Amino acid sequence: MTDLLTKQQYQALADELTLPVKAFINGEFVDAVDGNTMPSINPATGQVLAEIAACNRKDVDIAVANAKAVFERGDWANLHPSDRKKAILRFAQLIEENATELAVMEALEAGKPIHECVKTDLPETVHCLQWHGEATDKLYQQLSPSGDDKLGMIVREPLGVVGCVLPWNFPLMMAAWKLGPALACGNSVIIKPAESTSMTTLRLAELALEAGIPAGVFNVLPGLGPDVGEPLGLHPDVQIVAFTGSTNTGKRFLEYSAKSNLKRIVLECGGKSPSVVLSDAENLDSVAENIAAAALWNMGQNCTANSRIIIHKALKAELTGKIIEKMADWQTGDPLDPQFMLGAIINRGQYDKILTYIETGITEGATLLMGGAPIKLNDGLFIAPTLFDQVTPEMTIAVEEIFGPVFCLMEAESDDHALELANQSCYGLQASLYTANVKKAHRYARKLQAGTVSVNCFSEGDISTPFGGFKQSGFGGRDNSLQAHDQYSEVKTVWLDLAD
């Protein structure tokens, strides 16, 4: 699955693709009730790939009614856990068998480099579903220490209808992060993909049905946020909404919950993640390599992108030179050409926003070391990897999430000053820490205000570790790990009196 083809082979596959364009409700592809559509645009070329069904509140009501009905019938929820496991594992297998098609589709619609789609996104998607599928029949219930005459059973039950609202930066992986635990617990799921990247999620739904997951258990409603996301958030029969995206939008779902049925809300939101390089950091070539990857991966369109590089003053000059050298490995070009590590920016709005941030950085006095300009390639949306120096904590580019290939260098007077700068943010999703001292590694990792701290590398952990943020980066739960199952299930106490 991870062998790369040539650009010509990927282009030939792209030319032959049958693109899914309709909503998927109750096991069938259907038009939006009102017949509305929206364009899916290839950001690398500016060309319209297809017109996708644009759903609204009417479609949400239909999908929720079907999802609730199949849940109450128990077609999926009441299956033996081992049977649910088999279907989820078959689902993962079908994704693996169709991985090249899905990778090409995602590269076209999201502008992601095919190298990343093939080597990272598809394998991680498959592994996530396999992992949660395997956990389905291995999670035990509990008994309370209630004595001989009483029996307290602590059981977990599926919630019912789960709404998932996804971002555009990792369409397949984010779908798997939500689907894996939600399906394993026995819920019915309705996904609203990002309006820019609907097609791979629609294809997943088709494969899930083929795998034996009953009709109505996995539904996909493409559409705009106010037309689909908001109705899901307000619907009284939706028991949870799991959202990944911007902090401002995440806050709206808390309002929707309060205005409706107090549904559970799980948010994974924005970030302004730091790389913190302490005075005793070693192997600066490796540090620079990790820093460049952390800042530029997926064109910087990543909520954990390390966009603030905080370096002790004793190492700053040497490390800056090495970072610039490593940036040369991150070349930008045609997403279907596997030689390129960076592709296109997702859409015109995001492209213009990134360029505005670059202009603001220059205006506020930061020093532009690398990049800072668009790359002209056909009619695509490409921006050169951009590095700023002499950035101070109050500058806009040091405070706000840019979500593009832009990062900045900040100088720390001491190790404690580096920690202070790192925590000087309303976000707290991820942080990278570089030190050769094991005591500092433990002490500073505990003091960094982030849901994930990687030491001497850039990492988000793996499927076995919970992923989510502190402060305005997260709310209500975690993706990944067995903890993800907690948010898609309800705890019930069953108390039995055994006395004669």
CA 323: distance to chain centroid?
A: 26
> Smallest Cα–Cα separation from 143: which of 452, 494, 500?
494
CA angle 194, 472, 418 (to 5 degrees): 120
Going from the C-alpha of 420 to that of each of 315, 414, 426, 447, 465, the distances in angstroms are: 18, 10, 13, 10, 26
Out of 268, 289, 401, 460, the active site residue is 268
The per-residue DSSP string of 257-274 comes to HHHTT--EEEEE----EE
Angle, in degrees to the nearest 10, between helices 171-184 and 199-210: 40
The Cα 301–Cα 356 span in angstroms is 16
The Cα 443–Cα 457 span in angstroms is 17
Q: Which residues contact 336 (CB under 8 A, 6 or more apart)?
A: 7, 10, 11, 14, 44, 104, 107, 108, 114
- By the 8 A CB rule, do 401 and 68 touch? no
Known active-site residue 408: no
| Residue 371 backbone class (left: φ over 0; alpha: ψ -120 to 50; beta: rest) | left
- By the 8 A CB rule, do 238 and 163 touch? yes
Known active-site residue 268: yes
226-248 b/e with 16+ CB inside 10 Å = b? ebbbbbbbbbebbbbbbbbbebe
Going from the C-alpha of 229 to that of each of 167, 256, 344, the distances in angstroms are: 12, 10, 26
> Smallest Cα–Cα separation from 464: which of 442, 479, 486?
479
The Cα 131–Cα 134 span in angstroms is 5
Out of 55, 164, 269, 303, the active site residue is 303
- By the 8 A CB rule, do 275 and 307 touch? no
The Cα 55–Cα 153 span in angstroms is 43
> Smallest Cα–Cα separation from 225: which of 207, 241, 205?
241
- By the 8 A CB rule, do 483 and 477 touch? yes
Going from the C-alpha of 438 to that of each of 215, 276, 280, 412, 418, the distances in angstroms are: 52, 15, 11, 20, 17
Catalytic residue ranges:
268, 303
